[in-house]
């Protein structure tokens, strides 16, 4: 499995601690440095079963600068959202764990991290 993290994020550190405590085999991706491409974001969204606006941190300064709260949330604007996430990775909700079975979870709670571990 792979976990997308921001080391400054307490939820990310908590998820890593839980993975370590469970002896999980995982790879860390510091997504602010190793920025996911638009195609990688599309893949993760498919694995999550979510839309880009579902994993967007709309309270970030970049979101406010872009005016994301006013953007439509529909199929016609989906690519625009994905492009914004690729260009401003800080907007991506974290941590995201991609499981070995092809699924993914946003691991903001211990329960979500355990769900990823059970796959």
Q: Could you count the other beta carbons within 10 Å of the beta carbon of residue 13?
A: 14
Q: Is 9 a catalytic residue?
A: yes
Q: Is 96 helix (H, G, I), strand (E, B) or coil?
A: strand
Q: Is 99 helix (H, G, I), strand (E, B) or coil?
A: coil
C-beta of residue 112 within 8 angstroms of C-beta of residue 119: no
Q: What Cα–Cα distance (Å) separates residue 78 from each residue in 7, 64, 70, 83, 85?
A: 28, 18, 14, 9, 11
Report DSSP state, residue 7.
T
Hunting for tokens 């991706």 — which residue is that?
Answer: 29
- The single residue of 1, 3, 9, 82 carrying the catalytic annotation is 9
Active site residues: 9
């Amino acid at each position: 499995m792979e976990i997308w993290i921001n080391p400054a994020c307490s939820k990310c550190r908590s998820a890593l601690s839980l993975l370590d405590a469970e002896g999980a085999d995982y790879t860390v991706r510091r997504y602010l440095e190793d920025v996911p491409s638009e195609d990688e974001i599309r893949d993760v969204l498919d694995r999550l079963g979510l839309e880009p606006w579902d994993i967007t941190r709309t309270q970030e300064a970049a979101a406010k600068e872009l005016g994301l709260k006013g953007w439509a949330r529909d199929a016609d604007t989906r690519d625009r959202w994905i492009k914004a996430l690729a260009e401003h990775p800080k907007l991506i909700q974290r941590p995201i764990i991609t499981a070995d079975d092809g699924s993914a979870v946003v691991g903001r709670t211990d329960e979500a991290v355990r769900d990823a571990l059970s796959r």
